[in-house]
Amino acid sequence: MVIIVGAGLAGLACAIRLQEAGVDWLLLESDDHPGGRVATEITPEGYRLDRGFQVLLDSYPTASSLLNLKALQPRYFQSGALMVGEEGWERILNPLHHPDWLLSAPLIRSFSFREKISLGLLASLQCLRSDDSLLGQESGISALQEISRFSLEGDVLEKFLRPFFAGVFLDNDLGTDASILRYDLKKFALGRALLPANGMGEIPRQLASRLASSRQRYGARVQALLRKDRAGDCVFGVELASGEKIEGDCVILATEERTSCLLLGLKEQRAWSQVSTFYFTGNDPLYEGGLLVLPEGKNALVRHFTDLTNTAPEYAPKGKRLLSATVLNPPVGDLSGLVQSEITRYLPDFREWKFLREVRITRALPSQIPGFHRFQPERRPTPNLWLAGDQVAHASIDSALASGLRTADEVISCR
């Protein structure tokens, strides 16, 4: 039997592949539901609060093949953004999805004609490359250095590139390895961002529904690995917090990196980003279109915000609206007033909205600065023990799913 520890996206994908191959498996999860960091809370009033602002891209190859996107009832964002600053508002759209916008593009005041050409060139070059070539190895330079190589350090950086990709990487300094910038540029250029109508938590729920319920155990926290010798060259099972011991032929740790390191007796090597999502509700629309709003400048408290009900009306009760605002590495304390004040500078009617909830995630994404691969744990520390998920891959929904499938394939090939 194969024991999978962790029912996040990687663990669920791994279990699906093993089940399809007819391999005996058991999935153990400490929480009471699947999904890990991909989850949605439904409040008593009927608001759907995702665990942080997250989207799914329909250009993700593994997600598109593994998920039934139609069954998720996708609600699509417009491909672009609203840039806002002291000089007002401007809309930028992806010409691959909004070709009519090309007629308006020359009129964009936020950045120069040269910057528009350089930005188009940077994105186009990535679209011509395969996913494997983009992510096959680290670039050795940061996303900011890559942006500088294309002479995009001016207005286009502070009005669009920094606020947009800082929100993607949870890294306001854009120190993330440039290979990830290139990959994400391609996926955002070619695909559309979506929300499942009932929240991002529908993604793991759909995956879990494909699996035999008798093989999924929730509320089962693994506290130790069972080893056959002191050297730990062979793991033959796990011990739960309850004291129960479960034996298996091999073990897959599809857990958070910190949990894997604790079970392996290792010291975690990487820092993690912290993020808070602030949810507000109101009665009337603030702006038109399913777009992300990007406040200008490196020092903005709110990295981006969006009226989620412009994209997915199901996220709020009938007659109500739901806005999410993202703050990177927030200091301790109640920031809701500061968040509301900053958004009100751009949208005066926002002062009438009510604060609902702050969702603070202390370990949202691991550091992916140049050289991050050498700080990740080993994917296969012993012959019958594997690690899966963003602890051994780059951090994204698609990479987590792909890592689970790849690990399952390796296990199957060894049997």
Distance CA(380)–CA(273), nearest Å, equals 26
Distance CA(283)–CA(215), nearest Å, equals 45
Q: Which alpha helices (H) appear in 128-270, and where do they start and end?
A: 131-135, 143-149, 155-156, 162-169, 178-190, 202-209, 257-264
What are the CA-CA distances from residue 244 to residues 1, 111, 211, 224, 378 (Å)? 16, 62, 23, 11, 27
Reduced to 3 states (helix: H, G, I; strand: E, B; else coil), residue 234 is coil
Distance CA(69)–CA(63), nearest Å, equals 9
Query: pLDDT band at residue 195, thresholds of 50, 70 and 90?
Result: very high
Per-residue pLDDT at 233: 73
Rounded to two decimals, the pTM is: 0.95
203-213 residue pLDDT tens: 999 999 999 99
What is the CB neighbour count within 10 angstroms for residue 414?
12
Per-residue pLDDT at 263: 96
Q: Which CATH superfamily hosts domain 2-38+202-270+369-414?
A: FAD/NAD(P)-binding domain (3.50.50.60)
Strands 235-240 and 245-247: antiparallel
Residue labelled with tokens 């109101």: 282
pLDDT average, residue stretch 13-30: 98
pLDDT average, residue stretch 84-88: 89
Helices (H) and strands (E) in the chain, counts: 13, 20
Is the CB of residue 252 less than 8 Å from the CB of residue 4? yes
- CATH of 40-102+192-200+272-366 given 3.40.50.300, 3.40.50.2000, 3.40.50.800, 3.90.660.20: 3.90.660.20
The percentage of the chain sitting over the pLDDT mark of 70, rounded to a whole number, equals 99
Main-chain phi, psi angles of 275, to 5 degrees: -145, 150
Residue 386 confidence (pLDDT) above 80: yes
* Beta strand ranges found along 87-183 (DSSP E): 88-93
Per-residue pLDDT at 101: 83
Biggest distance spanned by C-alpha atoms of the chain: 70
CB proximity list for 115: less than 8 A, separation 6 or greater: 151, 152, 154, 155, 156
238-253 residue pLDDT tens: 999 999 999 999 999 9
What is the CB neighbour count within 10 angstroms for residue 268?
17
